[in-house]
Amino acid sequence: MAVKKILNADTSNVVEEMLSGFLSAYRKYYKKVGEYNAIKYRQSRKDKVALVIGGGSGHEPLFSGFCGAGLADAVACGNICASPNPELIAEAAKSVDQGKGVLFIYGCYAGDNLNFDMAEEICQAEGMKTAHVRVWDDCVSAPKERITDRRGIAGDVYVIKCAGAACDAGLEFDEVVRIAEKARDNIRSIGVATAPGTLPGNDKPTFELADDELEYGMGLHGEPGIERTKMAPCNEIVARMYSELQKEMELKEGEEIAVMINGLGSTPLLELNLVYYELAKLLHRDGLKVYDAEVKAYCTCMEMGGFSITILRLDDELKKYLDAPCYSPYYAKGSVGVETTSAEDTEEEEEPEFDENDVEAAVITRSKEGVLEELNAEDTRNMLLYIADKIIANKPYLTEVDSAIGDGDHGIGMAGGMQKAKKKLLKMENQENVYQLFEEAGKAMLMSMGGASGVIFGSLYLAGAKGMDPEAVITGDHLIDMEKKSLAAIQERGKAQVGDKTMVDALVPALEAMEAHRGEDLLTILKAAEEGARQGMENTKNYVAKFGRAKSLMERAIGHQDAGATSVYLIFQGMREFVEGDLK
């Protein structure tokens, strides 16, 4: 049975509309950061380190619900289950920076890591002091020796709480970072899924799970866990999860802990409290002292069924920051004496118009009939427009490919980024520098897509063109030189190699094929690139993923092609089709 969602017919603006509703309801506490999908707390204390959090939307109340007194100062909100882009993150940070430094806290996912890293570079270039703490509490998503590959789930809540308290206590920057890292390093979580979620705009759920099945260790976006089994009674499920946490943390009798039972979206409080009832018996049996407990949905994925258990090992220092008063509409402790501004006194803030689909249809033209031997600026603009339309048209296909081993958002992200690139290109008539067109299209993608794809595919255009001497036309050799620069930048930032099941698996053989034909005509070079990318894409079916959400699948990813590699193939195919005059 299909999941019913209360959404508008056009789901492309769901994040903007969600934030508008949130800000309308809680305007006495929060305001929007410029025209960005970011919010900041109106009453942040002065002369302190600023705390900025963020990640993909669709996990509410994380992250927007953890901004407030004694919590984060600002939140950067990405698209559904996709990282916010670097510009958005940087602007959120700049809006709350008080000169004492900015700490970023977010879950450890490829897209978040790439985009927050780039945002820090932007902030540091403007003289800001920054640091980040990546939360990696999901203890079954990678072995201990690869702890930095683990993903962040509900443990974010405890890290944000302790870090926010440290900021509001007036601690120096390095001390705030130390407290946040200490909290992070003493937190472990494990989740179990009983039903999938469905992302707005997608017809299919993020994964499939039979009615009589559950998955231990399921990730927040639907990443498979350590084992799929038949449904079991609550006490058996909890015992299995506690066993994994106990083995990981080596908890000893007499230790004090904080415990969180987090609902993933659709599991009711009746069941969540039953989970805690069963867990409390096991904790008591082992002589563990529960200092604090939380039972609620804090970190969700739409209507995903199931829950996670998070344990924070405590000492006197962490207890102080865990106990410190805080307030937001979705999370509060103690009394903070919050002074609020009445809704009547707040200035009316005009919301900017934004429509993701407000892009006029491109009319594709070419400078001549037949094969193009080189590309002038107008041909280049039209080629990039043609590629953008091709990717947008293939959104359902890319979504289907990504859904097999990811969370199904690659098609949405690529189509959205190409829409922004298209909108930019349509305004760039009468250009003289070919590279400027690639650069501006890449910037538009980078600053709009979010997720790992935003940084990587934005760099595919941007990194190769940036710094090139202006050219009125480009040949096949120019294109080879540009793609070499792009590949180097992508691998420097993302660290992926051939065989890691990423877009690099298609880009490397495409470039090698191009190099083999250096000095030949443009069409020959692009035909070779297309075939190299196609073969590289096909080869990804044989690989185990090393990056992204598919890495948790391990051998189960074999047999499925990578969505990023598929996009690379479609881009080179689009280039060849335009140059040959074979427009579809």
> For the chain, how far is it from start to end, CA to CA, in angstroms?
37
What does the block give as tokens for 407? 């969370």
Q: Are 159 and 180 in contact (CB under 8 A)?
A: yes
Its pTM stands at 0.81
pLDDT in tens, the chain (584 residues): 456 888 888 888 899 999 999 999 999 999 999 999 999 999 999 999 999 999 999 999 999 999 999 999 999 999 988 899 999 999 999 999 999 999 999 999 999 999 999 999 999 999 999 999 999 999 999 999 999 999 999 999 999 999 999 999 999 999 999 999 999 999 999 999 999 888 887 778 877 889 899 989 888 877 778 889 999 999 999 999 999 999 999 999 999 999 999 999 999 999 999 999 999 999 999 999 999 999 999 999 988 999 999 999 999 999 999 999 999 999 999 865 555 554 445 454 443 333 444 455 689 999 999 999 999 999 999 999 999 999 999 999 999 999 888 877 898 889 989 999 999 999 999 999 999 999 999 999 988 887 778 888 889 899 999 999 999 999 999 999 999 999 999 999 889 999 999 999 999 999 999 999 999 999 999 999 999 999 999 999 999 998 877 787 788 889 999 999 999 999 999 999 999 999 98
**Residue 221 annotated as catalytic:** yes
* Amino acid, res. 500: D
Cα 205–Cα 208–Cα 209 angle in degrees, nearest 5: 130
Using one digit for the tens of pLDDT, what is the confidence trace for 132-171?
Answer: 999 999 999 999 999 999 999 999 999 999 999 999 999 9
Using one digit for the tens of pLDDT, what is the confidence trace for 387-436?
Answer: 999 999 999 999 999 988 887 789 888 998 999 999 999 999 999 999 99
Q: Which residues pair with 132 in a beta bridge?
A: 104
Using one digit for the tens of pLDDT, what is the confidence trace for 314-373?
Answer: 999 999 999 999 999 999 998 655 555 544 454 544 433 334 444 556 899 999 999 999
Contacts of residue 511, Cβ cutoff 8 Å, sequence gap at least 6: 480, 483, 484, 487, 529, 532
Alpha-carbon distance 320 to 323, whole Å? 5
Alpha-carbon distance 484 to 536, whole Å? 17
Domains with residue ranges and CATH for the chain: 11-331 (3.40.50.10440), 375-580 (1.25.40.340)
Q: Which of 132, 221, 517, 560 is catalytic?
A: 221
